[in-house]
A and B are shown apart, each in its own frame.
Chain A
Amino acid sequence: MRCRETEKWILRSLDGILDPARVKALDGHIEGCPRCRKLREAYMVLLGRLKSPAEPEPLPRFRERLRSRIADRDRVEPWTVWAKWSLRAIPVSLVLIGCFIGAIAFLSPKLEEDMSQPEALLLQNADPLQGPQTLFNEEKVENRNMMIIFAGDERIPNRRYSP
C-alpha cells in the first residue's frame, strides 16, 4: 500500500464507509508509517473541531418577524393574487368558450335550403306525391321525358319543366 492512497482511505475510514478488509490494510500500513499516522491524527483533530457543538436558537420572535415580512411583501405585490387567479381562469374560460360554441352549433335551426323538396312539402303540409302524379298524368311522351329530366334536381323548383 502506498502513502499516496492512504489519505483517501483515512478519510473514508473516518466516515465509516471503508470496507473492513481495507480498514485492516490501512491499520497495518499506519502502524509502520509515522507520516500516515500523523496525517490520520491531524484529520481526526480537524474533523473533531468541525463538529457542531450546542447550537444557539434563532433570535426572539422569529415567526412574528417573518409574518410581518410576508405581510409587507403581499401588500407590496397584490398582483401575485391576480396572477394566481388569472392562471386558474385560463383553462376555465377556454372550456366555457368551447361549450358556448358547441351549444350554438347544436341548437341553431337548419337552413331551409338544406331540405329536400319532399321534406319542404311535408313541412308545408302539402302532398309530396303531387309532382310524380302530374308526371303520370302527362300523355305526351316528350313532355314526360322532359319532366323526368328536370325533376332530377328537386332543389331547383323553378327549373322543373311544366308544359
Chain B
Amino acid sequence: MEDKALIERARDGDRAAFEAIVKRYENKVFHLAYSFVQDRASADDLAQDIFVKIYLSLRKFHFKSEFGTWLYRLAVNHIKDHLRKTSRRKEISLEEVKEMPFATDDGHAQKEREQVDAGRRRAVMKVLETLPPKYRTILTLRDVRGLSYEAIVRTLNLSPGTVDSRLHRARRMLLRKMAPYLSEEGGSR
C-alpha cells in the first residue's frame, strides 16, 4: 500500500496502518539514531521516541513534502534535541583514544585487523561526539549516513550554501581534533 493511503488510515486511528508505516521505516530511523549515539540500546530508545512523536504528529503532515523527508526531518530534530540535552562537550584525552586498538595493527590475522579497524572507527566517532551538535549533525548525515547534499538541504531546511560551508567547517574541525591520532596511525586506511 502507498504511504499516502497508510498515513490517511493511521490518522483515522487505524493502528494496523501505523504499524505498517513503522515496519517500513523502523530500520531507517534506528540506523539514523545509531549513527549519532553509536549505542544499540540508546538508538533503540531514540527510535521508539521518534515513532511516538510521529504517531502524535501525523495530523500535522499535509503531504507538502515526501513523507520520508518529513519523517527524517522530525527524527533529526528529535535527535538534535537529545544531543543538546546530553551534550557535555566532552574533551577526549590522547590516553583515552590510545586505549582503543588504534595503532597496533600488525597486518596478519584478519580478525585482529577487523578489531583494529573497529577501534579506529570508535575513536573517530568518539571525537565526533565532542563537536557542537550542528556540526555533528551535518557530518553524521553526510559522512556517516551518506545522504546527498540535496537530501541534507531538505532534511535540515537549510540553503545549499549553508550546507556546503557548514559541512566544510565541520570536517575541518574534526580533522584538527583527530590530527594527533591520525599521525600516530601513520596514515594507513
- Chain A residue numbers with a CB within 8 Å of B125 are 50
Known: A46-B174, A46-B178, A58-B26. A51 touches B55 (CB 8 A): no
Q: Residue A93 at the B interface, CB < 8 A?
A: no
Expressed in whole angstroms, the Cα–Cα distance for A37 and B20 within the complex equals: 50
Q: B14 on the interface (CB 8 Å rule)? A: no
Query: What separation, in Å, do the CA atoms of A70 and B168 have in the docked complex?
Result: 40
Cα of A79 to Cα of B182 in the assembled complex, Å:
57
Q: Mark out the residues of chain A between 32 and 91 whose CB falls within 8 Å of any chain B CB in the assembled complex.
A: 38, 41-53, 55-59, 62-63, 65-67, 69-70, 73, 84
Please state if A69 and B40 are interface contacts (CB–CB under 8 Å): no
The distance from the CB of A9 to the nearest CB of chain B, in whole angstroms, is 11
The dominant DSSP class at the A interface is helix
CA of A42 to CA of B188 in the docked complex: distance in angstroms?
Answer: 9
Q: Assuming A52-B144, A66-B51, is B27 touching A57 (CB within 8 A)?
A: yes
Residues of A within 8 A of B189 (CB): 44-45, 48
CA–CA, A45 and B171, complex, Å: 12
Interface residues in chain B, defined as those with a beta carbon under 8 Å from any beta carbon in chain A? 15, 18-19, 22-23, 26-27, 30-31, 34-35, 40-41, 43-44, 47-48, 51-52, 55-56, 59, 118, 120-121, 124-125, 128, 139, 143-146, 149, 167-168, 171-172, 174-175, 178-179, 182, 185, 187-189
Identify 4 new A-B residue pairs, CB closer than 8 A, beyond the known A50-B125, A58-B26: A45-B182, A45-B187, A45-B188, A50-B124
Ordered nearest first, which 8 A-B pairs have the shortest CB separation? Answer: A50-B143, A49-B124, A59-B44, A58-B30, A55-B31, A56-B40, A52-B144, A49-B121
